[in-house]
Amino acid sequence: MSRKKERESALKGVFQLDFHIEPGDFKESIDYFLEDSELDLSYGKTLIDNTEANLTEIDRILNDYLKSTWKIDRIPKIEKSILRLAICELMFMDEVIPYEVVINEAIELTKKYGDEDGKNYVNGILNKIVKDGFNVCP
């Protein structure tokens, strides 16, 4: 399966984070999602796991880059999930993915699932993060 498709499937998994209150609920839901999807999601599963494991830090980073009048709970859930995945790929994956690829894929996911203005917002936040040196890629 291509990375593009794995990211898209991972997005569907990470999107569920905001709907689970109990910690075990998310794991159970993701296991069911992966079993039901019948997809070989080696990269996607790692992306979901790393996003969940680093969610507090990812959300802290995201909050740091939001406009001063915005808070993370004001971001539409789909754009928030896309940003979480992208930040995870930029900062918390063992495999280094070029930041241009991560940002482009995030924009493409936003075009497909988000609203019209979302792509500019996602692009702006991710570019600020990269510009400030949070990315480990050259």
pLDDT tens digits along 17-56: 777 555 556 666 666 666 655 556 688 888 888 998 899 9
Of 110, 118, 19, 126, residue with least CA distance to 62: 126
Average model confidence (pLDDT) across the chain: 82
* Domain CATH number, residue 84: 1.10.940.10
What is the C-alpha separation between 84 and 61, in angstroms, rounded?
9
Confidence category of residue 138, pLDDT binned at 50, 70, 90: very low
Domain count, the chain: 1
Report pLDDT for 49: 86
Contact between 84 and 110 under an 8 Å Cβ cutoff? The reply is no
Query: What is the extent of the structural domain holding 46?
Result: 3-131
Q: Is residue 138 part of a domain?
A: no
pLDDT tens digits along 70-85: 778 788 999 999 999 9
Q: Is residue 137 part of a domain?
A: no
Angle formed by the axes of helices 118-131 and 77-91, nearest 10°? 30
pTM score of the predicted model: 0.85
Helix/strand/coil for 128: helix
Q: Is residue 77 part of a domain?
A: yes
Tokens of 60: 């802290």
